Structure 1
Amino acid sequence: MTIFLNILIPLVVAQPLTVEAVAEQCKPAIVVVTAKGRTEGKEGLGTGFFISKDGLIVTNYHVISEGRMIHVETQDGKEYPVIEVHALDRENDLAILKIEKTGCPFLEIRPSGQAKAGSRIVAIGNPHGLKHSVVAGHLSGTRDFDGRKMLQLAIPIEPGNSGGPVMDLEKKVIGILSIKSLVTENLGFAIQSESLIQLKGARPARIPMKAWLTVGAINEEVWESKFGGQWRQRAGKLLVENPGEGFGGRALLLRKQGPGAFPYEVEVELRMREENGAAGLVFDSDGNNCHYGFYPSSGQMRLTRFEGPDVYSWKVLRQEPSKFYRTGEWNHLKVLAEKEKFTCFLNGENVYEESWTPRQKGVVGLAKFRHTTAEFKGFQIRPGGPKPGPSKEEVNQVARFLSTPFPGESQIADRVKGLKGKEITALPMIQEKIRGLEANIAGLNRLRQEIHQAAVATKLREICSREEKEISLVEACMWVAKIDRPDLDIQSYLDDFRLMGEKLKKRASPKWTAMEKLQALKEYFHKEKGFHGSQQEYYNRANSYLPEVLDDREGLPITLAVLFIELGNYLDLNLKGIGLPGHFLAGLPGEKGQMSLIDVFDGSKIISQKEAEKISLDITGEPLSPPELNPVTKKQIVFRVLSNLLGSARKEKDEVAILRFLDCMLAVDNEAHEARGARAGIRAKNGHLHGALEDVDHLLKTKPMSIDLKKIGEFRSFLLEQMSKENPSK
């Protein structure tokens, strides 16, 4: 009898379940995985599942990418921060994460080789944020992609499904859903479970989140964080959130390089999310608990001398409301430090002045307190004291130009009294006046944008007109980013990049060969600094903006190559840019005229010409011609970065941005005929007929082979006709 029971029990256990039963029993093991995105408020979304009771979770590597803050949400709605990236397999697009939780319901794994083609499968994921959605289908078989076998599934996979389990009807995981470049309609692909079994059994990487967070990381060569808080860097701004570990939630971010001799100025612009918070400037710091602070606090401007770790050693020197403080807006804080006194300015106005005996080598920086979330931009240390302001004549000239008559506060009551009984007439007229003022504001904003755009274009023209060896790709690409970032502090980024280069240069040995220098550069760039190719958000404009690439250490092939090439200059490597169609490489010239091709986007792997040809063919569908492997000029590299941004703007149908990028492309290359033709069309569409005519006349004068001159001539006739309609007397 016992023998019969032993035979029957496995048969009972092995009975397949229904799709509904599999889904019901497995859902508790499924989690939502979110990873902080490239722009504020944006998150990557995927699926994961527990593979152990002690909090190990599997998902796709491309869901988390590198350097993201990662959280998971379990079926009961609880959210957990990931405490470590336990294991990684980039080749097979797998990641194992760890959360601090025990007793987790987990799924068992079965080798996918045991599953038969045509068998029923169940997948659970979070497509488009629809949590724990279930889809059933069939296993179609296996297919080879880029040298690795994938499971082909007869089920659709949508964004958000990535990283979810593919299960048989015995609740065993046979694959992990993946949509990374492998999806067509009603057809899905999954990573074979053998890859997961191998990764789970391998020696774990156990990367703590502090080491994982390269996105938005503060440059530790420039800044030193004290007392916790979460400091990040993004698009030229410094951001801080979470209470610090110091008393009162104090957290400091100190500049490592001090201001030097007196006098000096330190300034920053600040915006706080919570007006009952406190954040601002630190000066005369000992690098620890002792310093001065000048900052808004709960609606008042506070000046405090901190002489220790707690409130008993803090002395509030001044605390008053200020009419110069702009609630909810950016506020400019500045301290002028002299040997015998210091002066505090708020939005250009002198608010506090105190005598003091400063430290000989006090440092400066930023502070935040309590629960405050704050943004800082434009931090500067200016040795030698205040810079000269504009002349009185210039101020008066601008004031006359911008002045608009408007009744002052004291005149309002008189006007109300004078208009009594005339409300029906007065109110519509006042409304019309408001519309006129709003139109003036809109016009001034447009003027501001146009002046900024013209200044950027002029600077790009000046940089790209230099001799090849005098062109700094980093400087030029910073100015490209400034097109959409008017507040960008270019010099601070150039200084940070110079420090990176000098640090690398100090490590170099005069005996190193070119290949040894290249290896040192690769290790510094990828392993130490964490620069990597953007996978999940490839087409995000941030990947073309060099400040964000430096902040996030993530970018496109061309922007990564720009940094790689320019850092190579510090090692005298003489790297070149190789502009393949659809991709971009760096090149290292050899002694015999041969060029080593370096794919910076792929970890700076050295590739053969045949591999380069395959990359280009896979992207464009066209064979690579030999001249396309030749080095390009720095001017051509800058033009191509602008072309990438133009492509993004066209996808977004952002005509204002399209025109900005076309203007700058023509500033870089005045003979970019296709760009000029495109600009003529947009100018005409927006009513700028004279500008369109200028572009058309230039094309007719230069007669480029790539343009249909007959159509250009017809377009010119159309423009003249439209202009005559607008000005019939001319």
Structure 2
Amino acid sequence: MFLLPLSVVLGILAGDLASGQDAPEDSDQALIAQVQRSVTTIRVQGRDGEEIGIGTGFMIDDEGLVATNFHVINEGRPFTVQASDGTMLPVKSVEASDVNSDLALIRVDVSRHPVPALELVSDDRSAQGLRVLAFGNPLGLQNSVVEGIVSARREMQGRELLQLAMPIEQGNSGGPLVDLDGRVHGIINMKSAIDDNLGFAIPAAQLLSLQQHPNPVLIDRWVRLARMNPQSWKSVNGATWQQRGGRITASGTGAGFGGRSLLLSQTDVPERPFEVAVMVRLDRESGAAGLVFHSDGQDKHYGFYPSAGRLRLTCFRGPSVFSWQVLDEVSSEHYLPGQWNHLKVRIEKDRILCFVNGHLVIESADAQLDRGSAGLAKFRDTEAEFKQFEVGRELSDPSLSDSAKQWLAKLEVPEVDIDQIGAEQIHQLGTSGDLASREIIRKARLLEKQAARLRQLADDVRRAEPIEQLRHLEDLESDQRLLRGALLIARLDHPDVNIQAYCDRVDAMSEEISTRIDSDADAVDKRKHLHQYLFEENGYHGSRSEYYHPANSHLNRVIDDREGLPITLSILYIELAQRLGIDVRGIGLPGHFIVGQVIDADRTDLIDVFDRGELLMRADAERIVLMHVGRGLREEDLQANSTTEILTRVLNNLIGIAGRNEDLEGMLRYSDGLVALNPELPEYRLMRAQLRGMTGRAAAAIDDVDWMLEHQPPGADLGAAKRLRSALRSRQSLTTD
């Protein structure tokens, strides 16, 4: 690969290239140094906060306008912009973007750190044979330069591109293509799949056109991932509060005293007595995070939280250390360091009762504050997780049922205090030589195996409730099944998903849209308002950069992150349309899920929700089917799918993702869901039996096989079931022996 570091390029310019020009060596060095000052590094975060990409940008005006490729920043992703000297440039907005031309303009704040702009070439002077330099961060190697020539101007997929004779790698995208006078002729776009020393750039004239037609989006609207719902929560004193999968996470340092930051619930607090509760887990026990109550929305409130491994009740009467009073601080054996802990505060007329994991640890008669909001707090640079926040007159504590206690008693393992084994005992064991050592190792391996199986059992128990609810989905009203079913599928991976909260969220979204719709609006007018809300104002879109991320199949994450697969975006679309009185049905084309809006008896409009609600013609549907399965469109392809068919397709997508990752436990979770939804289909039950057997759950696998042999459902391969049963029995006997 012909990739040159800056020093080598300087040498080339000073030697061979300079020999045919009048410019001295120092002018060549000045050229590269000048361009480098205008080049920026762009880093993009993924669904889970990890860095998923690095690209390049460059300044095109003196007021902080950075040009790059659209695919570099991705849609709705958090990203940072860094100057060539390492200075971070605060991002203000995405000034303009065009998916089709793959261009984006970012507005950054350069008031404290001016960055020089590069000149764009506005005509067709990018002639064949022009010598050019490409600047960027190929493969994450910052401040790299590569030399080449413009070998042709070509039209590809309806776009004019500059074909380059130079190597282009991941990280070069978005970088400037400059001539030897430092003028920008293009923006690096992609590498060739045919030759490593071949790349392409978008002509600079297209950037000028985009600059003249901006469509600015402020960065706080562009970055939409996991934002807290402002109708439910109010953040005070900064820090970063996010919500995913039913969990709230807090990170960063708050602006209040001690790095304090609050997240206040917008739920009305009852009159006393009332209770506030939450599950909390800290990243490290030196931190502090927990409950607040009687908050005035600013600096006054009570707090009950773990701090440095102890439980603390505090009264904050203002913003400074002088207004902070620790009312009580205790150690408790009931607090579990590093794990989830249930905190609860009961506020009565004349006392405050504080509980951890169901046990009273602090009682106080303090009465300095007597009313206000309730919510969550974090301090210093603590990273904390919260779930199951509640406010109510009387809240129940988590507890085991009697039958669960009986079963768990059977799992008790006699404890051996190995620390009490002294030198004499070791000597006695040593008289048997290697035999005693090998026997101890055998017992250790047996305990490790039992521990692994116990973790499996914990996972099985954790998903038992959502599986049971999927099994009885038909008991719900027909208009509740799709939304709740999709959220139950998400609970297979995220047990903390609050289904009712997301149902309420969808209701609130539909209510917001309905306020804009006239009472006499027809079906098409209603659809326009739905599209404006979903795609233009809130940026819901198809996930292209991380298409196979499991989050795209979890409806809660799709609602939070505002991106997903065609089918999960369509589920949300269907649910909102249903609440707005729009007749929409899901249509599972082979390889691509769309929806159909019934306008009248003779007209159904096809809509691609994945592509921002684009209307499809029948020819488009034919093209989709041909591309994915290599055949023509059939009338049955356009038939509306049932709720069970839609949810089954979601689970099959998840099984495919888990299969690619060789995740047998994940495949088993989703096969549990498939059997719950399709109990009579033998292929799903046989698949689950095989997965149960492969993951060491022989008894449960035999249960599936016995069901098949007893019920003999149509299409069942009973021979395969019998062979599997025999193999499972053999494995059981070997394990027992």
Superposed pair shares fold, TM > 0.5: yes
Unpaired runs of at least 5, structure 2: 1-19
1:477 aligned to which of 467, 482, 486 = 486
| 2-structure distance, mates of 1:157, 1:615 | 31
Q: Secondary structure at the match of 2:409?
A: helix
Q: Secondary structure at the match of 1:542?
A: helix
- 1:328 corresponds in structure 2 to 338
| 1-structure distance, mates of 2:444, 2:159 | 66
Call closer, same or farther: CA 1:318–1:521 in 2, change over 3 Å. same
CA shift for structure 1 position 591: 1.7
55-64 or 78-87: bigger deviation: 78-87
- 1:648 corresponds in structure 2 to 657
Q: Deviations over 1:565-614 (max 9, x none)?
A: 11122212132112122222222111223111222222223232223333
Q: Does 1:167 align with 2:173?
A: no
| 1-structure distance, mates of 2:327, 2:95 | 50
1:452 aligned to which of 462, 468, 471 = 462
Counterpart of 1:422, as a letter, is: Q
- 2:106 corresponds in structure 1 to 97
2:410 aligned to which of 397, 401, 404 = 401
CA shift for structure 1 position 719: 6.1
1:419 aligned to which of 419, 425, 433 = 425
- 2:44 corresponds in structure 1 to 35
User: What is the percent sequence identity of the aligned residues?
Assistant: 38
Contact 1:679 1:692 in 2 (8 A): no
Contact 1:17 1:169 in 2 (8 A): no
Q: Secondary structure at the match of 1:67?
A: coil
714-723 or 494-503: bigger deviation: 714-723
CA shift for structure 1 position 658: 2.0
Q: Secondary structure at the match of 1:637?
A: helix
CA shift for structure 1 position 324: 3.2
Q: Secondary structure at the match of 1:579?
A: strand
Q: Secondary structure at the match of 1:472?
A: helix
| 2-structure distance, mates of 1:137, 1:677 | 59
1:130 aligned to which of 125, 141, 160 = 141
Q: Secondary structure at the match of 1:175?
A: strand
Q: Does 1:279 align with 2:312?
A: no
Counterpart of 2:77, as a letter, is: R
Q: Does 1:56 align with 2:65?
A: yes
Call closer, same or farther: CA 1:662–1:87 in 2, change over 3 Å. same
Q: Does 1:300 align with 2:310?
A: yes
| 1-structure distance, mates of 2:288, 2:278 | 15
Q: Does 1:527 align with 2:536?
A: yes
- 2:241 corresponds in structure 1 to 231
- 1:462 corresponds in structure 2 to 472
CA shift for structure 1 position 233: 1.8
CA shift for structure 1 position 423: 5.9
Call closer, same or farther: CA 1:356–1:104 in 2, change over 3 Å. closer
Counterpart of 1:491, as a letter, is: Q
CA shift for structure 1 position 326: 3.1
2:347 aligned to which of 305, 313, 337 = 337
- 1:369 corresponds in structure 2 to 379
| 2-structure distance, mates of 1:602, 1:310 | 51
Q: Secondary structure at the match of 2:210?
A: helix
CA shift for structure 1 position 659: 2.6
| 2-structure distance, mates of 1:713, 1:452 | 33
Q: Deviations over 1:294-323 (max 9, x none)?
A: 012233321112233333333221123333
- 1:8 corresponds in structure 2 to none
TM-score (norm 1): 0.86
104-113 or 55-64: bigger deviation: 104-113
| 2-structure distance, mates of 1:523, 1:91 | 20
CA shift for structure 1 position 264: 3.3
- 1:593 corresponds in structure 2 to 602
Mapping of residues 247-646 of structure 1, within 5 Å: 247-355=257-365, 362-386=372-396, 389-390=399-400, 393-394=402-403, 396-406=405-415, 416=422, 419=425, 421-422=427-428, 424=430, 433-463=443-473, 465-466=474-475, 469-646=478-655
CA shift for structure 1 position 523: 2.0
| 2-structure distance, mates of 1:327, 1:387 | 19
Q: Deviations over 1:449-504 (max 9, x none)?
A: 123344433322221x3478244322111111111223333333333333333333
Contact 1:269 1:379 in 2 (8 A): yes
| 2-structure distance, mates of 1:17, 1:675 | 72
Q: Deviations over 1:144-188 (max 9, x none)?
A: 4554333344555433232122334544322222349x8555454
Q: Deviations over 1:205-250 (max 9, x none)?
A: 2x43333331121111111112222222223221222322223322
| 1-structure distance, mates of 2:22, 2:608 | 52
585-594 or 504-513: bigger deviation: 504-513
| 2-structure distance, mates of 1:299, 1:388 | 22
| 1-structure distance, mates of 2:617, 2:518 | 28
Q: Deviations over 1:360-404 (max 9, x none)?
A: 86321011223333222222234434358446x446524522322
211-220 or 134-143: bigger deviation: 134-143
Contact 1:153 1:188 in 2 (8 A): yes
| 2-structure distance, mates of 1:355, 1:344 | 12
Counterpart of 1:567, as a letter, is: L
Q: Secondary structure at the match of 1:108?
A: coil
Q: Does 1:116 align with 2:122?
A: no
Aligned-residue CA RMSD (Å): 3.7
TM-score (norm 2): 0.86
Counterpart of 2:281, as a letter, is: R
CA shift for structure 1 position 621: 4.8
Call closer, same or farther: CA 1:605–1:270 in 2, change over 3 Å. same
Mapping of residues 651-730 of structure 1, within 5 Å: 651-670=660-679, 672=681, 675-676=684-685, 678-679=687-688, 682=691, 685=694, 691=701, 694=704, 698=708, 701-704=712-715, 713=719, 716-717=722-723, 720=726, 723=729
CA shift for structure 1 position 507: 4.4
| 2-structure distance, mates of 1:41, 1:108 | 34
2:223 aligned to which of 208, 213, 216 = 213
Q: Secondary structure at the match of 2:267?
A: coil
Unpaired runs of at least 5, structure 1: 1-10
678-687 or 75-84: bigger deviation: 678-687
Q: Deviations over 1:99-156 (max 9, x none)?
A: 3334424432224733234544443332332323444445454444554333344555
- 2:9 corresponds in structure 1 to none
Call closer, same or farther: CA 1:634–1:384 in 2, change over 3 Å. same
| 1-structure distance, mates of 2:727, 2:441 | 38
- 1:67 corresponds in structure 2 to 76
| 2-structure distance, mates of 1:209, 1:478 | 29
Counterpart of 1:597, as a letter, is: L
